């Protein structure tokens, strides 16, 4: 019996996906778990695996947007035919076709690598291009279907060390002001549907790659309907000619817009509290060489997750109806990258042992640095932990990651002194915890009690599993 192959729901907030590429030809026999297409959501681009083995009958078109659960193909057994009326797409519709407005006017497109407007390049290739100062749009891909891989970027850097850097000179900026902004295929279609000219409308891009997403267009429209204008920023004039200008794009643009919105929309306040770490240091030393060995931040995440169970108001989100207390404890951890940071999520952290949390944070940090995070890795966070201790920082004021109600900063582990009951001085290991919280959700005393609970749990790390 033919099995429907539908657009999967890849995350809690995903409503639709755009097909960027069919990775196998129509009629190909595939096994369960084979990656058969690339899908773009408002957040990430990811491969989709086929759930059952069989012969793939393609219905969905490249560049088309489909709601989650909508049919994009059939999985057929040998000798089966698709149901009557299920017309296949043409070869031209399945083929990869570049969209000119997605590519900067200075780009040199040397092979068919635009997937519904998206450059055919691996995430690691993008990272290497940024690191080496290579314009990735000028690189010829040697991977499948012309896909650009990291080796292509490195070869381009070696062959043309003087290639134009990512940071543009200030004198070149005026020539780019009239260039249509980069946007996802779904954003272009939605903007066309509602009558918005993306080239003439200032819409703030919040996606990690700096492109305007469908959600960005929708937010702009909501602002207009509400009687307000799209959010704008007024910048002071330059005091002198700059040496160079780093454009507001990619991850830096996303961080800038989200953090500004966070500080504008919330009543944020920070408190700092020292925690003695002698018990953690001893426990960590006892685990050396075992599978349960963990980093200091892992201890903090484990203690925070358990403290969130005792203080549900901290594990909440502000909504139009009130303060929503969330059922799951999903702790995000900030991971620093060359051009910014990402916050992958340890899901159900309150139910994991210390060793399990350590395994998750190691996996997520490695995937983040390789550009291999998947959409589920980035969604659903209810609280965040960010550490600057490795940079010698004691206390700081972290900015809340929306829509969370709080974030915990972790300082450096340092030598300090304490007094015993009989007045003697002893050396202790301490670090400073910095909690920023939304004062609309809870007040200073509950915030202090929450951090005190974390300190209590760290004082007896055996409770962390």
Q: What is the CATH number of the domain that holds 20?
A: 2.40.50.100
pTM for the full predicted model: 0.58
Same domain, residue pair 159 and 81: no
* H, E, C per residue of 423-457: CCEEEEEEEEEEEEEECCCCCHHHHHHHHHHHHHH
Residue finishing a domain among 261, 278, 293? 261
On whether both 53 and 131 belong to a single domain, the answer is no
Average pLDDT for residues 112-135, to the nearest whole number?
A: 61
Longest dimension (CA), the chain: 88
Tokens read off for 320: 């139009």
pLDDT of residue 313: 96
Distance CA 129, CA 154 (A): 8
3-state secondary structure of 360: helix
Selected residue with higher pLDDT from 398 and 216: 398
Judgement on whether residues 54 and 196 belong to the same structural domain of the protein = no
* Choice between 220 and 381, residue whose per-residue pLDDT is larger: 381
Give 280-315 pLDDT, tens digit per residue. Answer: 999 999 999 888 899 999 999 999 999 999 999 999
Question: Residue 247: is its pLDDT beyond 60?
Answer: yes
Do residues 435 and 382 share a domain? yes
Alpha carbon distance 249, 303 (integer Å): 36
The span from the CA of 279 to the CA of 286, in Å, is: 11
Averaged pLDDT for residues 122-139: 71
- Lowest average pLDDT, out of 54-63, 134-143, 170-179, 315-324, goes to 170-179
pLDDT at 196 over 50: yes
The residue ranking higher by pLDDT, 260 or 186, is: 260
CATH number at residue 140: 4.10.320.10
Is a pLDDT exceeding 90 seen at residue 228? Answer: no
Are residues 105 and 79 part of one domain? no
| pLDDT score of 277 | 96
Gyration radius of the chain's alpha carbons: 25
Asked if 29 and 161 sit in the same domain, the reply is no
Q: Is the pLDDT of residue 126 over 80?
A: no
Dist. CA 382–CA 288, nearest whole Å? 31
Q: What is the pLDDT of residue 158?
A: 77
pLDDT value for 137: 74
* Domain co-membership, 246 together with 381: no
pLDDT-derived band at 227 (thresholds 50, 70, 90) equals: low
Looking at the chain, the whole-number percentage of residues with pLDDT higher than 70 is: 74
Q: Which of 209, 235, 261 is the endpoint of a domain?
A: 261
Q: Under 8 Å CB-to-CB from 299, ≥6 apart: which residues?
A: 280, 284, 354, 458, 461, 464
Decide if pLDDT at 108 tops 60: no
What six digits make up the tokens of 198? 């993306």
Based on the fold, state whether residues 405 and 325 are members of the same structural domain. yes
Q: Which domain holds residue 151?
A: 101-172
Q: Are residues 134 and 10 in the same domain?
A: no
Asked if 50 and 114 sit in the same domain, the reply is no
Round the average pLDDT of the chain to a whole number and report it: 80
Q: What percent of the chain has pLDDT over 90?
A: 38
Claim to verify: residue 88 and residue 70 sit in the same structural domain: yes
What stretch of H or E contains 279? helix 278-286
Residues 378, 287, single domain; the answer is yes
Could you say which of 115, 149, 172 is where a domain stops?
Answer: 172
Q: Give the mean model confidence (pLDDT) for residues 183-207.
A: 69
Number of structural domains (the chain) is: 4
């Amino acid at each position: 019996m033919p099995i429907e192959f539908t657009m999967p729901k890849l995350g809690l907030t995903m409503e639709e996906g755009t097909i960027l590429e069919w990775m196998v030809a129509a009629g190909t026999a595939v096994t369960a778990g084979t990656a058969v297409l690339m899908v773009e959501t408002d957040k990430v681009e990811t491969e989709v695996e086929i759930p059952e083995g069989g012969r793939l009958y393609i219905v969905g078109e490249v560049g088309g947007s489909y709601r989650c659960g909508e049919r994009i193909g059939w999985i057929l057994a040998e000798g089966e035919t698709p149901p009557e009326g299920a017309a296949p797409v043409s070869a031209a519709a399945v083929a990869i076709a570049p969209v000119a407005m997605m590519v900067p006017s200075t780009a040199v497109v040397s092979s068919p690598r635009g997937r519904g407007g998206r450059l055919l390049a691996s995430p690691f290739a993008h990272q290497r291009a940024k690191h080496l100062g290579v314009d990735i749009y000028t690189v010829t891909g040697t991977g499948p279907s012309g896909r650009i891989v990291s080796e292509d970027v490195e070869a381009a850097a070696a062959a043309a060390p003087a290639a134009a850097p990512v940071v543009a000179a200030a004198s070149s900026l005026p020539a780019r002001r009239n260039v249509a902004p980069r946007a996802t295929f779904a954003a272009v279609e939605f903007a066309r549907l509602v009558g918005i000219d993306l080239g003439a409308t200032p819409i703030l891009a919040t996606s990690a790659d700096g492109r305007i997403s469908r959600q960005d267009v929708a937010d702009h429209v909501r602002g207009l309907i509400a009687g307000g204008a799209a959010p704008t920023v007024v910048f002071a004039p330059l005091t002198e000619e700059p040496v160079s200008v780093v454009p507001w794009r990619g991850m830096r643009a996303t961080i800038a817009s989200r953090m500004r919105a966070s500080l504008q929309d919330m009543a944020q306040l920070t408190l700092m509290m020292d925690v003695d770490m002698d018990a953690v240091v001893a426990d960590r030393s006892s685990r050396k060489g075992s599978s349960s060995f963990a980093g200091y931040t892992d201890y903090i995440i484990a203690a925070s997750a358990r403290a969130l169970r005792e203080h549900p108001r901290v594990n909440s989100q502000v909504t139009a109806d009130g303060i929503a207390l969330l059922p799951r404890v999903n702790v995000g951890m900030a991971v620093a990258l060359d051009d910014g940071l990402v916050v992958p999520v340890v899901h159900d952290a309150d139910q994991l042992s210390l060793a399990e949390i350590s395994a998750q944070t190691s996996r997520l940090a490695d995937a983040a640095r390789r550009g291999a995070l998947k959409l589920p890795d980035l969604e659903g966070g209810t609280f965040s932990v960010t550490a600057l201790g490795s940079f010698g920082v004691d206390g700081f004021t972290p900015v809340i990651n929306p829509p969370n109600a709080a974030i915990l900063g972790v300082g450096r582990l340092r030598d300090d002194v304490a007094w015993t009951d009989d007045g003697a001085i002893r050396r202790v290991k301490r670090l400073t915890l910095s909690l920023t919280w939304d004062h609309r959700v809870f007040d200073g005393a509950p915030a202090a009690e929450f951090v005190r609970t974390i300190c209590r749990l760290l004082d007896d790390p055996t409770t962390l599993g």
